[in-house]
Amino acid sequence: MLLVACQQTDAAESAAVQPGKALYDQHCAACHGTQGAGDGPAAVWLFPKPRNFSAGLYKIQSTPAGTLPSDEDLYRSIRGGLGGSSMPAFDYLSEEELRSVVGYVKHLTAVVGPNGERVNRFAEASAGGTVGVPITIPPEPPLTFDSITRGQEVYAQLQCNSCHGETGAGDGPSASTLKDSLGVVIHPRDFNTDLFRGGSTGQDLYTRIAVGLGGTPMVAYPDEVLNPTDRWALVHYIQSLRRKDVEVGDMLASEGALTVARVKGDPPLNPVDPAWERVESVRVPLNPLWPEPYPITGMAVKALHNGKMLAVLLQWRDEIADGAPVRVEDFQDAAALQFSLTDQAPFLGMGDPQNPVNVWQWKAGWQQDADGERPDVQLAYPSMHVDTYQEPELHGLYRTAETAGNLLASTRMRSPVEDANATGFGTMTSQSPSAQNVGGKGIWRDGFWSVLFYRELKSGDPRDVRLTPGESTFVAFAIWNGAQRDRNGRKVFSHWHRLTLNP
Ligand code: HEC
Ligand code: HEC
């Protein structure tokens, strides 16, 4: 075991944590900071903020409130991510890599003691014998109408509704007053979505209620105030509050590997071609970088290739289609795929200097341009006073970005998809017009977007992702919802998946 012996010298300790440190620096430091203080450069974009490890306070643990989490708890949080927050799932790291990163997180869980010495909280706890032992969870009783009704009673008795609200929407009378232990605003969980930090199984929820979420107003409800039977009843009640329409489950998507079937003919290049109905879809969970009242929690992904062309179809539920912004307060729907250009999983926030990414971005406004349907301000808001230059011959004069050849500003794009590269947050650079080789089309219908991306497998451009039958590449997805005022870093995103092209 790493780090348990207090007498271990700093040097020996540093050697033991080296492999974990390298992984941490690559995958975690941008958010959590190199010293684990929760202050990485990406942290300003995020809410809630990344955990400050040195505080020794964790939200997700199977051990009693006030004790440290077990290695298994940290392992699970890192492997599975914290649902509904920007803490991604790292299930593409190997077991060994995950174990070493757990060791490094424990190493960072340290404070400076009274004499300037470094006190590791985990080492301290094991020396003092106060390491938490996981609580016992009795077997789940059958889910019955009675247990849900009992859960509803207990929910009212213990005043869960004061924070979580009558319908579990996270809007109880105290909801707007809550702060965490660092004084940062925190929202009670919305039980209508299926997004839980520590997982949504009965056992997960049972544990969260029993031990609380460290450092938050969600306190523990131990056996003295809540007996195990009633705690299970509460779990059943909470699960019953899930809004049935939040899932893409009704699109019959299942979670699994993104394997691209090889077909003989051409893959359909129309996103609503009935041929796509016969292609199996994979559900990709999405997490918000910023809390949203109705986040898009997942999308369905389908893909085909024929040895020459790859086509990837993304489908997600969005009640309102938001096209090109016509007023400053308007935001548009958009979607992007990012691919690793190396055989590593780069830093999730658009790659890192060692691991650049290739980004394919689609925007609803570019789609309108491609379809010749871009609304002008007068059409969209007929009664609004406008002061833009509507005459086409004046565009060149007054649209300086477009005149300068800026692809983003252009209203004459060939494809609604932009082919770009990045090496980290805020570094996205569009490829030159002649290097643009990704096609696409998005169609909004009946409350769903279907957006197709396609590219020829062959490309001589080293900035283009290599697509080779029989090989796999890392891919991650992002969606911007205009109705939620999403733009730039404000979006929902997936973690890295492996996209494998069948030989
Ligand atoms: C994109 C930003 C981001 C990256 C990258 C990231 N995290 Fe996090 N992490 C977060 C946020 C935000 C939270 C806090 C979520 C919350 O409080 O609900 C968090 C929380 C955690 C927690 C606390 C779990 C608990 O029980 O409280 C651990 C442990 C953790 N991260 C480890 C890691 C490790 C290890 C890596 C790299 C392998 C990593 N994180 C990468 C954003 C990130
Ligand atoms: C004082 C306000 C408050 C009360 C009362 C309260 N909660 Fe919470 N609860 C919260 C907050 C805030 C969070 C979100 C913490 C976070 O995001 O880290 C939360 C989160 C949760 C979660 C989510 C765990 C996860 O993995 O995401 C569950 C489940 C939960 N509460 C159940 C309950 C139940 C059951 C009761 C009543 C017995 C209750 N809460 C009472 C404030 C409260």
Between CA 325 and CA 332 the distance in angstroms is: 6
State the distance from the centre of ligand 1 to the C-alpha of 59, rounded, in angstroms.
11
Q: Closest Cα partner for 136 from 231, 66, 52, 41?
A: 231
User: Which pLDDT band holds residue 65 (cuts at 50, 70, 90)?
Assistant: very high
- d(CA 217, ligand 2 centre) in Å: 7
Q: Model confidence at 376, in pLDDT bands (50, 70, 90)?
A: low
162 Cβ neighbours under 8 A, 6+ residues apart: 172, 173, 174
Q: What percent of the chain clears pLDDT 70, i.e. is strictly above it?
A: 83
C-alpha dihedral over 61, 222, 235, 74, to 10 degrees? 0
Q: Tell how far the Cα of 12 is from the centroid of ligand 1, in angstroms.
A: 27
pLDDT band at 407 (very low <50, low <70, confident <90, very high): very low
| pLDDT at res. 221 | 97
Residue 298: predicted pLDDT: 85
Report yes or no: 151 and 233 within 8 Å, Cβ to Cβ. yes
Cα gap 88→30, rounded to integer Å: 13
Q: Which atom of ligand 2 is nearest to the CA of 180?
A: 12
Q: Is the pLDDT of residue 155 over 50?
A: yes
Maximum Cα–Cα distance across the chain: 78
Which atom of ligand 1 has the smallest separation from the CA of 49? 12
Phi, psi of 295 (to 5 degrees): -65, 150
Task: Please provide the average confidence, as pLDDT, over all residues in the chain.
Answer: 85
Contact indicator for 434, 289 with CB cutoff of 8 Å: no
pLDDT of residue 409: 43
Q: Return the pLDDT at 283.
A: 87
Ligand 1 centroid–CA 157 distance in Å is 34
Residues 90-118: pLDDT tens digits? 988 999 999 999 999 999 999 888 888 88
Q: Which atom number of ligand 1 is nearest to the Cα of residue 43? A: 2
The set of residues, in sequence order, having a beta carbon less than 8 Å from that of 52 and lying 6+ positions away, is 32, 36, 37, 38, 39, 182
Ligand nearest the Cα atom of residue 59: 1
Looking at the predicted structure, is the pLDDT value of residue 343 above 50?
Answer: yes
**What mean pLDDT do residues 126-140 have?**
88
pLDDT tens for each residue of 243-272: 655 454 444 456 678 999 999 999 999 999
Band of the pLDDT at 135, cuts 50, 70, 90? very high
Q: Looking at per-residue confidence, does 453 or 489 come out higher?
A: 453
Q: Give the pLDDT score at 11.
A: 62
Q: Is the pLDDT of residue 144 over 70?
A: yes
pLDDT (0 to 100) of residue 99? 97
pLDDT digits (tens, 9 = 90+) for 285-329: 888 877 666 778 889 999 999 999 999 999 998 877 777 666 655
Give the pLDDT confidence score for residue 279 in this predicted structure.
92
Q: Identify the band that residue 489 occupies on the pLDDT scale cut at 50, 70 and 90.
A: low
**Bond from prior residue into 48 cis (ω within 30 degrees of 0):** yes
From CA 211, how far away is CA 61, in angstroms rounded? Answer: 8
**Which residues have any ligand 2 atom within 6 Å of their CB?**
59, 158-160, 162-164, 174, 178, 186, 188-189, 196-198, 205, 208-209, 213, 216-218, 221, 234, 238
Mean pLDDT, residues 164-175 taken together: 93
Q: List the Cα angle 297/300/444 in 5-degree steps.
A: 90
- What count of other Cβ atoms lies within 10 Å of the Cβ of residue 388? 12
CA 32 / ligand 1 centre spacing (Å): 7
- From the CA of 178, how far away is ligand 1's center (Å)? 21
Q: How many CB atoms lie within 10 A of CB 116?
A: 6
Structure tokens at 193: 């979505």
What's the CA-to-centroid distance between 267 and ligand 2, angstroms? 47
What residue has token string 């941490």?
Answer: 24
Q: 37-60 pLDDT, tens per residue?
A: 999 988 887 888 999 998 889 999
pLDDT over threshold 90, residue 28: yes
Residue 232 to residue 193: CA distance in whole angstroms: 19
Query: Which of 82, 179, 347 has most ligand 1 atoms within 8 Å of its beta carbon, as the pocket-test mutant?
Result: 82
Cβ(73)–Cβ(62) below 8 Å: yes
Burial of 248 per CB tally in 10 Å (0-12, 13-18, 19+): buried
Give percent of the chain with pLDDT exceeding 90: 55
Which residues line ligand 1 at a C-beta cut-off of 6 Å? 27-28, 30-32, 42, 46, 48, 50-51, 58-60, 74, 77-78, 82, 85-88, 90, 101, 105, 197, 348-349
For the stretch 68-98, pLDDT in tens is: 999 999 999 999 999 888 898 998 899 999 9
pLDDT of residue 394: 36
Token representation of residue 162: 């004061």
Q: Which ligand is nearest to the CA of 63?
A: 1
What does the block give as tokens for 475?
A: 């891919």
Instruction: Mention every residue, 6+ apart, whose C-beta is less than 8 A from residue 456.
Output: 308, 309, 437
Assess whether pLDDT exceeds 90 at residue 344: no
Query: For 19-57, b where at least 16 C-beta lie within 10 A, e where not — what string?
Result: bbbebbebbbbbbbbeebbbebebbebbbbbbbbbbbbb
d(CA 283, CA 301): 6
Residue 126 has pLDDT above 80, yes or no: yes
Per-residue pLDDT tens over the stretch 199-227: 989 999 999 999 999 999 999 999 999 99
User: Residue 303 has what pLDDT?
Assistant: 97
